[in-house]
Amino acid sequence: MGMGPLENAAADVDAAASAVEAVPAKAGSYAVLQCGEDSEYVRKAYGGYFEVFRALLAEDGERWRVYRAVRGELPVDAEAAALDGFVISGSCSDAHGDEPWILALVDFIRRQHAAGKRILGVCFGHQILCRAMGGKTGRSKKGWDIGVSCIHPTSAAARLFAPLKLPVHMPIVEFHQDEVWELPPQAEVLARSDKTGVEMFRFGDRVMGVQGHPEYSKDILMSIADRLLRNNLILDCQVDNAKASFDVRQPDKDLWKKVCRGFLKGRLQSQQQQQQQQHKAQLVL
């Protein structure tokens, strides 16, 4: 028995959502540009931040490698040309700083964007993408944001991630005191929160920044918080509040995997095109 228009539409959405998570026929090659050193805890518990990102983003058959950008390691032109995309990690450094490795990273981002590579930035990576594309970053006037916060997708995000049916509130782990002040020209806000005006943005179809940490777990965040507390960089109450935030809300790790993988690997754009073609076909019929 054939399906009516409404059933067809529902089936198209379900198929699109499944396709976002489908492994591409040709497995890609990706690199993490690590902008901070591994903490002792993360090294012992997870094997380093590279493995934390691989757990979030990698799929069977893909090739992943890490470059220690904080040490001045970046892919040479031939290596970069062989890669499909890059992930830029968080950092203890400021994205608005002028250390040589940061300036080199800004130049590298611009060249890879011009080459059509896909780039996903997280926390510091989100901010450095903003800077590289022509925006501004700096200290938040509201101070540290530590713990699980709810961010709110915009209508632009709802369209971009339509196959995923994003919820109105998306909890994510946050740990930052810097933020995006001014987006690059033509960039689009994808999410906001009560504390941060730009929680997510995209620049065209191949660059996206996420201020929070979709890769973090509670133990990773608390290990960093404890270290900063011992060095008198944050207060006891901030650590207590961060710990308590996990009792109030929990990030949906599977959803964040789909969001980050979908954008980094170009699935969302292909799904939008597919949906547009299906819509045109229905109009003709």
Is residue 235 pLDDT above 50, yes or no? yes
Parallel, antiparallel, or unpaired for β 136-139 and 178-182? antiparallel
Q: Catalytic residue among 113, 126, 176, 213, which?
A: 213
pTM of the model: 0.87
Q: Shortest CA distance to 126 belongs to which of 52, 197, 30, 223?
A: 197
Adjacent-strand bridge partners of 213: 173
- Model confidence at 54, pLDDT cuts 50, 70, 90, reads very high
Q: For residue 268, what pLDDT is reported?
A: 80
pLDDT in tens, 162-192: 999 999 999 999 999 999 999 999 999 999 9
Mean pLDDT of all residues in 244-268: 96
252: three-class secondary structure by DSSP: coil
Is residue 7 pLDDT above 50, yes or no? no
pLDDT in tens, 32-45: 999 999 999 999 99
End-to-end CA distance of the chain: 18
Is residue 3 pLDDT above 60, yes or no? no
CA angle 164, 168, 173 (to 5 degrees): 85
Rounded to an integer, what distance in angstroms lies between the CA atom of residue 214 and that of residue 259?
A: 10
Tokens of 125: 């990576």
Q: For residue 266, what pLDDT is reported?
A: 94
Q: Catalytic residue among 174, 179, 199, 215, which?
A: 215
Q: For residue 26, what pLDDT is reported?
A: 67
Q: Catalytic residue among 35, 123, 130, 150, which?
A: 123
Is residue 24 pLDDT above 80, yes or no? no
Rounded to an integer, what distance in angstroms lies between the CA atom of residue 271 and that of residue 281?
A: 15
Rounded to an integer, what distance in angstroms lies between the CA atom of residue 70 and that of residue 242?
A: 27
Give backbone dihedrals phi and psi of 9, rounded to 5 degrees, phi first: -60, -45
Is residue 198 pLDDT above 80, yes or no? yes
Q: For residue 269, what pLDDT is reported?
A: 61
Contacting residues for 79 by C-beta, under 8 A, at least 6 apart = none
Mean pLDDT of all residues in 87-92: 98
Lowest mean pLDDT of 9-13, 15-19, 67-71, 118-122, name the range: 9-13
Is residue 112 pLDDT above 90, yes or no? yes
Q: In the annotation, is 35 catalytic?
A: no
Q: In the annotation, is 260 catalytic?
A: no
Integer CA distances (angstroms), 162 to 152, 153, 273, in order: 15, 11, 12
Residue carrying the six token digits 């991630």? 161
Q: For residue 22, what pLDDT is reported?
A: 45
Mean pLDDT of all residues in 193-209: 97
Adjacent-strand bridge partners of 176: 145
Q: In the annotation, is 123 catalytic?
A: yes
Burial readout 125-141 (b: 16 or more C-beta within 10 A, e: otherwise): bbbbbbbbbebebeebe
| Cβ atoms 127, 121 nearer than 8 A | yes
Q: How many Cβ atoms from other residues are within 10 Å of residue 212's Cβ? A: 28
- Model confidence at 27, pLDDT cuts 50, 70, 90, reads confident
Q: For residue 16, what pLDDT is reported?
A: 43
Mean pLDDT of all residues in 208-234: 97
- Model confidence at 247, pLDDT cuts 50, 70, 90, reads very high
Rounded to an integer, what distance in angstroms lies between the CA atom of residue 96 and that of residue 124?
A: 10
